[in-house]
Amino acid sequence: MGSVKLLGAVGECEPPRIVMPLTVEPSKPRLCHDERFLNLWVKDLPFHLETLKDIPRLVQKDALMVTYDEKSGYDHVKLSQHSFTYFGIQFGGFYMTYTTLPFGWKASPFIYQSIGMCVTSYLRKLNVLNTLYIDDRFSVTRGGPLQSSEEKEFEGREVDAAISVCTKCSRAVRVFGPLKEEIEYWKFLDKWEGFSKWRPEFHNKIDMVTDSSGYRYGALVNLGDNHLTMGDYWLADDTRPIHEKEAEAILKALQSLGKSLLDSRVDVLTDSMAVIGAWNSQGSKCPALNCIMKDIFQLVAGQNVDLHLSFVPSELNKADGPSRILNTADTMLSNASWVLVDSRFGPHTVDLMSLDSNVMQSVDSRPLRHFTPWLTPETSGVNVFSQDLKAESNMEEQASAHVLPKQAKPIFLSKIKAMCSYIDREIKSPGLSLRERTSAEYYSRIHTLVDAGSIALRLSQVANGSENIETVFKEQADYSSLVHVFNKE
């Protein structure tokens, strides 16, 4: 008796309790016992399979990799004798029954995998790295020194002992580290009396595409009729893995929209399956990614947002461009230089043109209020030219520069006067060439001063919004120091 037991000819022996047909599995031809009827009465037995995604974390440099295929694996697991009658076959006028696991019974993979995992666990106890996918096994040698089996066994025993003590102990058990943070995060549910409100019947849908590179994130947002582009740089020393940056790109894009998210459905396209899996599964094996997912959850829960993440291939991700921009205009002063500037001309109250990543800091090391070219999580407004800056005067800096708030003309006149005095001195120098002398005489003409002065007056008039300022500046304008060169014309 092998994998199949012959009972006898049809009509001459007692038939099995259940007789089911044979078939051939088409995708990979193999004999299959069609047990769909029996499977209706068998309990579902889900289990976890280690796949190719688990292989890279096992393989190190200079490691030796070996694969095994267990031949006719199901035929090595025998059924109990009283179970034979449930796996009957009729073929060629004879009754037969399976005596080993049949291919087609839905419990067969679970049984075989469970037995194989005993071998896997034993090999791992011997520090042999290996994985099992039903009848396919993969093993690899370590690239570095092996950990002693005694140490491994001791660690496992200590972990089991700690779990046992905690479950049986009637006293409080001290919890700290990441486990404490996780418990404290969810403790708000014990006293939470809030509710999740129904969204209004009107449809407010926001489409978003996000991406991240090693140094910057980018996002494209369709907000009604508005098409927005966002992005900012990561810190220079940010060495986090890319899946964490991809998740934070989604978080920052959502934070940038602020109250526009309220009661909305947001569809986000991203090229990171790790982020999509973490959101859909409500967790990940990566603690840092879990923390970002919690921040996203709190944001969407507070704004009553219905968030959906979908996958888009990297080559079709339209946010790839904004995530790879490098602009020299985004440079900033070093901290040491800014301390000197702020101590000499400060204190400053606002950074007029910046991003969240390069905004200057106040004396108490907090970012200044700042205006950005597009929406960012910490912006005080978009586009400095559309902001009211009257309340942002820096009186100490203006006093040092002898410039009244919003008055461009005194600066302009003082520069013109200094330029003309300099040209007047230089034109007397005997070492000037003909071309230099001609150029100097042109710029020293008195009508040039008059034209420049009128331009300055108009600028100051627009900036100050007052007609009286023109009279004040005309009275202050002093051309008496200009010498004979200007009188020649």
Sign of CA dihedral 85, 86, 87, 88: positive
Calculate what percentage of the chain has a pLDDT beyond 90.
13
Q: Cβ–Cβ contacts within 10 Å for residue 101, how many?
A: 22
pLDDT for position 331: 82
In tens, the pLDDT along 165-200 reads: 778 777 777 888 877 887 887 787 787 777 767 766
- DSSP secondary structure, 36-96, as one string: HHHHTTS---------GGGSTTT--TT--EEEEE-TTGGGGSBPPGGGGGGSEEEETTEEE
Question: For residue 306, which amino acid is it?
Answer: D
Selected residue with higher pLDDT from 15 and 460: 15
pLDDT for position 326: 86
Domain residue ranges in the chain = 4-144, 204-316, 332-391
User: Is 90 exceeded by the pLDDT of residue 447?
Assistant: no
Say if residues 319 and 212 touch (Cβ distance below 8 Å): no
Q: What average pLDDT does the structure give for the chain?
A: 78
Could you give the C-alpha distances from 398 to 59, 313, 345, 455, in angstroms and in order? 64, 54, 8, 22
Burial bucket for residue 348 (CB in 10 Å: 0-12, 13-18, 19+): buried
Beta bridge pairs of residue 308:
267
254 — pLDDT class (breaks 50, 70, 90): very high
419 — pLDDT class (breaks 50, 70, 90): low
Helices (H), 384-467: 395-401, 409-427, 434-443, 446-464
Selected residue with higher pLDDT from 19 and 168: 19
**Can you name the CATH fold of 204-316?**
Nucleotidyltransferase; domain 5 (3.30.420)
Would the pTM of this model clear 0.85, i.e. be above it? Answer: no
CB-based contacts of 144, cutoff 8 Å, min separation 6 = 60
Residue 200 φ/ψ region, left for φ over 0, alpha for ψ in the -120 to 50 degree band, beta for the rest: beta
486 — pLDDT class (breaks 50, 70, 90): very low
Say if residues 371 and 353 touch (Cβ distance below 8 Å): yes
Separation between Cα atoms, residue 299 and residue 279, nearest integer Å: 13
**Can you name the CATH fold of 4-144?**
Alpha-Beta Plaits (3.30.70)
Strand arrangement of the beta sheet that strand 136-140 belongs to: 65-69, 136-140, 129-133
404 — pLDDT class (breaks 50, 70, 90): very low
Q: For residue 460, what are its two tokens?
A: 């100051």
Separation between Cα atoms, residue 349 and residue 390, nearest integer Å: 12
User: Is 70 exceeded by the pLDDT of residue 433?
Assistant: no
In tens, the pLDDT along 93-136 reads: 899 998 888 888 888 889 888 888 898 888 888 878 888 888 88
Separation between Cα atoms, residue 23 and residue 405, nearest integer Å: 91
Provide mean pLDDT across the span 35-48.
Answer: 86
Calculate what percentage of the chain has a pLDDT beyond 70.
75
User: Is 90 exceeded by the pLDDT of residue 155?
Assistant: no
In tens, the pLDDT along 343-378 reads: 888 788 888 888 888 888 888 888 888 888 888 998
In tens, the pLDDT along 192-240 reads: 777 767 766 667 889 999 999 989 999 999 988 889 999 999 988 888 9
What stretch of H or E contains 181?
A: helix 178-186
In tens, the pLDDT along 83-96 reads: 898 889 888 889 99
